[in-house]
Amino acid sequence: MTTFPWLTTLMVVPLVGSIVVALLPKARTLLAKQIALVVSVATLVLTVLMALQFVGDSVEPFQFVESHPWIPAFGISYSVGVDGIGLVLVALAATLVPIVVLAGWNDVDDSRGSVKGYFALILVLETLMIGVFAATDVFLFYVFFEVMLVPVYFMIGRYGGAQRSYAAVKFLLYSLVGGLFMLASLIGLYVVSAQMTGTGTFDFLTLAGLNIDEGVQKMLFLGFFFAFAVKAPLWPFHTWLPDAAAESKAGTSVLLLGVLDKVGTFGMIRYCLPIFPAASNFYAPVVIGMALIGIFYGAFVALSQNDMKRLFAYSSMSHFGFITLGIFVFTSVGQSGSVVYMVAHGLSTAALFLTAGFLMSRYHGSSQISDYAGVNKTAPVLAGFFMIAALSSLALPGMVSFIGEFLVLLGAFERYMWVGALATLGIVITAAYVLRLYQRTMTGPLKPELEGMPDLRGREITALVPIAVLTIVLGLFPAPLLNVINPAVDRVMTSIGATDPAPTVTGAALEQPGLPAEGTEQ
């Protein structure tokens, strides 16, 4: 069983499913949806089976490794494998896709693009998402990174809202700009590796083992980091995100913000740090500054939004600030926290967008907060799930997002106390905009126009329950997550030559400011 090509299988299954769905006759929309659901659930089952065989404290950096030469002329190979970080993100992608399929069951009709096309695109995207987290060849990673844009572009542009075409093109161009600068760095890296080892390679472990000249590192780092900062997105490269999120279908937004944007933060921890350790150290203050600005900028703008989807987008931007902060404080606690936060954010974003999507589908698709009030009177179950999603987003203790946020702040305090203290303030604003959103839409007197709004139906509840369960279970019992993540993070820490600050110095300081701040927000 050890030689079974798990990761390739995970990529092939949705791809085949997508082709089958795409080849169906146009009229067979129900069958297309059913096939998409079955295929995505099957992929999830396979992912779980694979994850069960993952050895938490293995000495190997990557597991389920496969490697075949692809373009030997350029030292490119098809190499996949996952460490703990990759594994949890693959699992996140595999979990969210069936949920999105189920939740988006009636989202598209034949008016614009074909129904089967939407579901085929989701499945292609699943293949690419798994590939991007599983690639251990930097070139292969880049290919997935870029090709991923194409299905998302079509998902936004064909099935989105009124401004969909604008949003899709903006998304594509921003990402392409980032991607092409990464390409330039990637080629530079290849040439450097050819000069240092004699034969050029894109193998991640080989590249991470090279001791590249610091000046060169600083140049190459920029290309990679820029691409990831656009993808994540960090302030000031974020302006595509609100448009893309606002014009997409809820399901597209979930995959876009929940999984795709994680490629940015994943890229930082997987590629920027180990391959360019010296440059990462050099640029860390700038990146931390950008992360802090992002936390507050995103939160403040979210506070002033009247459009739910835009609010979620800005809120995500604020959360990406936290994730990036955790990565670049170079403490194992902070980095583990970042990875947990990536998963948590995926789940909470999914919950928010899907619940909001269900709400919107009940009132002309309006995403304006001011159009809703007192929804909990007529649709209590919907309001309940909205509450869970909101609390998960503001990182209530007991939710998995709390673990992530807490660890990130802890890590930040360990390294730079003031950064940690400042970032903690961001939580307060998060609480403010999330609770305000809930208060304005769900509580208060029911708007007359909303009279008789139906509550969630079975399919919708089925889609939301797994997210809620995962959010709470992992929040109360995060050990399985952390056991997998920690060894991978330790390896990253070793590769950048960073050590955690001695606990005696900051140990007393971090308990006090960290916890009350968490406490005050409820």
User: What DSSP character marks residue 399?
Assistant: B
Told to check if 19 binds another protein by CB under 8 A, we report no
**Which span (72-80, 296-304, 415-423, 425-433) binds another protein, by CB under 8 A?**
72-80
Told to check if 72 binds another protein by CB under 8 A, we report yes
207 vs 342, which CB is nearer to another protein? Answer: 207
Q: Assign residue 416 a region (left: φ > 0; alpha: ψ between -120 and 50; beta: otherwise).
A: beta
Report the C-alpha gap between 123 and 19 in whole angstroms.
Answer: 9
Told to check if 70 binds another protein by CB under 8 A, we report yes
Number of H helices, E strands in the chain: 23, 2
Least distance from another protein to the Cβ atom of residue 384, Å:
37
Angle between helices 417-442 and 380-393 (to 10 degrees): 170
Asked if residues 332 and 490 have their Cβ atoms less than 8 Å apart, the reply is yes
Told to check if 73 binds another protein by CB under 8 A, we report yes
Least distance from another protein to the Cβ atom of residue 150, Å:
7
Q: Which of 365, 368, 345, 361 is nearest to 437 (CA)?
A: 368
Angle between helices 308-328 and 417-442 (to 10 degrees): 160
**Which span (68-76, 205-213, 437-445, 485-493) binds another protein, by CB under 8 A?**
68-76
Least distance from another protein to the Cβ atom of residue 412, Å:
34
165 vs 512, which CB is nearer to another protein? Answer: 165
Instruction: Please list the residues that pair with 397 across neighbouring strands.
Output: 399
Report the C-alpha gap between 146 and 140 in whole angstroms.
Answer: 10
Binder to another protein among 20, 42, 74, 398 (CB under 8 A)?
A: 74
Binder to another protein among 41, 42, 150, 432 (CB under 8 A)?
A: 150
Told to check if 499 binds another protein by CB under 8 A, we report no
What b/e sequence results for 401-436 when a residue is b if at least 16 CB atoms lie within 10 Å of its CB, and e otherwise? bbbbbbbbbbbbbbbbeebbbebbebbebbbbbbbe
Report the C-alpha gap between 13 and 124 in whole angstroms.
Answer: 10
Least distance from another protein to the Cβ atom of residue 119, Å:
16
Instruction: Please list the residues that pair with 76 across neighbouring strands.
Output: 71
157 vs 475, which CB is nearer to another protein? Answer: 157
158 vs 440, which CB is nearer to another protein? Answer: 158
Least distance from another protein to the Cβ atom of residue 140, Å:
10
Q: What angle do CA 384, 386, 388 make, to 5 degrees?
A: 75
Least distance from another protein to the Cβ atom of residue 175, Å:
10
**Which span (69-77, 271-279, 337-345, 355-363) binds another protein, by CB under 8 A?**
69-77
Residues numbered 189-248 forming contacts with another protein, rule: CB under 8 A: 190-191, 194
181 vs 296, which CB is nearer to another protein? Answer: 181
> Contact letters (x/-) for another protein, 119-148, by CB under 8 A?
-----------------------xx--xx-
| Burial status of residue 230 (CB atoms within 10 A of its CB: 0-12, 13-18, 19 or more) | buried
175 vs 424, which CB is nearer to another protein? Answer: 175
Report the C-alpha gap between 455 and 381 in whole angstroms.
Answer: 6
157 vs 404, which CB is nearer to another protein? Answer: 157
Tokens matching residue 125: 């995207």
Least distance from another protein to the Cβ atom of residue 146, Å:
5
140 vs 256, which CB is nearer to another protein? Answer: 140
Told to check if 276 binds another protein by CB under 8 A, we report no
Report the C-alpha gap between 4 and 297 in whole angstroms.
Answer: 47
Least distance from another protein to the Cβ atom of residue 123, Å:
17
What b/e sequence results for 48-82 when a residue is b if at least 16 CB atoms lie within 10 Å of its CB, and e otherwise? eebbeebeeeeeebbbbbbeeebeeeebbbbbbbb
> Contact letters (x/-) for another protein, 152-191, by CB under 8 A?
-xx--xx-----xx--xx--xx--xx--xx-xx--xx-xx
What b/e sequence results for 193-212 when a residue is b if at least 16 CB atoms lie within 10 Å of its CB, and e otherwise? beebeeebbbbbebbbeeeb
187 vs 472, which CB is nearer to another protein? Answer: 187
Q: Footprint of another protein on this chain (CB under 8 A)?
A: 70-74, 112-113, 142-143, 146-147, 149-150, 153-154, 157-158, 164-165, 168-169, 172-173, 176-177, 180-181, 183-184, 187-188, 190-191, 194
